[in-house]
Amino acid sequence: MQTMSKRYAVFCISWLLALPLWREFHEPSQTLWNVFLAAFLIATVTAVFLGMRYLEQYHIEVGEARFSSSNDERSEI
C-alpha cells in the first residue's frame, strides 16, 4: 500500500477548505466577484502545494518558535 505524501495530504485538505469557502462567498449574480474569488482560492491552494513541495525538497522543518522573555540588554533612559 502506497502512503500519501505530506504534500498531497495538505493539498487535499486545502481543497476541502476551499470548497466551503466558495459555497459561502460566491454570489450568483456577481460574475466579476466570482471570477476573483475562484482565482484567489485556486492561487491559495496552489501556493500551499508549492510551499509544501519547497519545504520537502530542501528538507526544511517548520518548528515551534520560542522567544525569550528576559530582558538581557539594559538600556539607560
- Please give the tally of structural domains in the chain: 1
State pLDDT tens for residues 20-33: 999 999 999 999 99
Question: Does residue 67 lie in a domain region?
Answer: no
Closest to 17 in 3D by CA, of 42, 51, 52, 54: 42
Residue 1: inside a domain = no
Q: Is the pLDDT of residue 54 over 70?
A: yes
Higher pLDDT, 52 or 67: 52
Q: Is residue 75 part of a domain?
A: no
- Residue 40 within a domain: yes
Task: Evaluate if residue 1 carries a pLDDT over 80.
Answer: no
**Cα separation, 47 vs 53, whole angstroms:** 10
| High-pLDDT (> 70) share of the chain, % | 84
In-domain check, residue 43? yes
Q: Which residue has the cell 520560542?
A: 66
Is there a domain that residue 30 lies in? Answer: yes
Tell me, yes or no, whether 77 lies in a domain: no
Is 34 inside a domain boundary? Answer: yes
Question: 44 lies in which domain range?
Answer: 6-57
